[in-house]
Every structure is written in C-alpha cells, then in structure tokens.
Amino acid sequence: MPGTYGWFEWGADSNYGNTTTAIAVDEGFTTNVFSQTLPDALAGLTTYHFQAAASHAVAFVHGPDLSFQTPSPFYAFPLYGFTDSNDGGSPNGLVQGSGGNFYGTTSEGGTNYASTVFKIIKG
C-alpha cells in the first residue's frame, strides 16, 4: 500500500511558492500531527502564509491558509567608546533597562580597542 506524506507550503502570500520536504506520516483514519522547521533566514516583521498538505494514492488534500508574523530584528547602537583602563576600559556585560531595551558592553572595540557601551533596540 502506498505511503501517506505530509509537508507545508509557505510564502509571502497564499500563492506560497515554497515547500518543505515531504515526510512520511502515519496512515489510517485518525488525525495525524507532524511538524517541520522553516529556514532560519526568514525576514523580520514579515507576514508569512502557510498551509499543511498531504498526499496518498487516493487523495491529495490541503489545509486552510494560515499566517504568522516574524518578530522584529534587534539593532545595536554604540553609545560610548572607552579609551583605556582609566575610564573603565574592557567591561563586558548586558543588562535590561526599565523601558525594555538592552544595554551592554564589549571587551574590545572603540578607541584603542578598549571596549564600547551599546544599546540594543527592536527595529
């Protein structure tokens, strides 16, 4: 008996244009659950559409069109470049401010590579 295979079709709109690799799923008259991972290179703050699909020798079916939005990427902005150990050079750490932004330090960079202070915000 031929196998049953499931996959996802996905893209920027309901025309999809991309598919995951078909995987074998259990056969029978029961509900089957399967999952697959999309590529890591999805753009931030973008809505993607997807649908599940399955095929068997006697049927080919699609699920409803669904969508999700990827989260915002984060951006780092230098705030201060240390010059040497006299002004606190080479700190290293990360803290979250009360407004939700993250502030951190590097162990290198800035003038004389003595480190920098930076702020990370959502784009």
> Do residues 10 and 48 both lie within one domain?
yes
> Do residues 84 and 34 both lie within one domain?
no
Domain that holds residue 93: 74-122
Q: How far apart are CA 26 and CA 34, in angstroms?
A: 10
> Do residues 91 and 51 both lie within one domain?
no
Contact 94, 104 (CB under 8 A): yes
Contact 12, 48 (CB under 8 A): yes
Confidence of residue 86 (pLDDT cuts 50, 70, 90): low
- pLDDT tens across 26-74, in order? 766 566 677 888 877 788 788 999 999 999 888 889 999 999 988 777 6
Q: How far apart are CA 5 and CA 25, in angstroms?
A: 6
- pLDDT average, residue stretch 69-81: 71
pTM of the model: 0.58
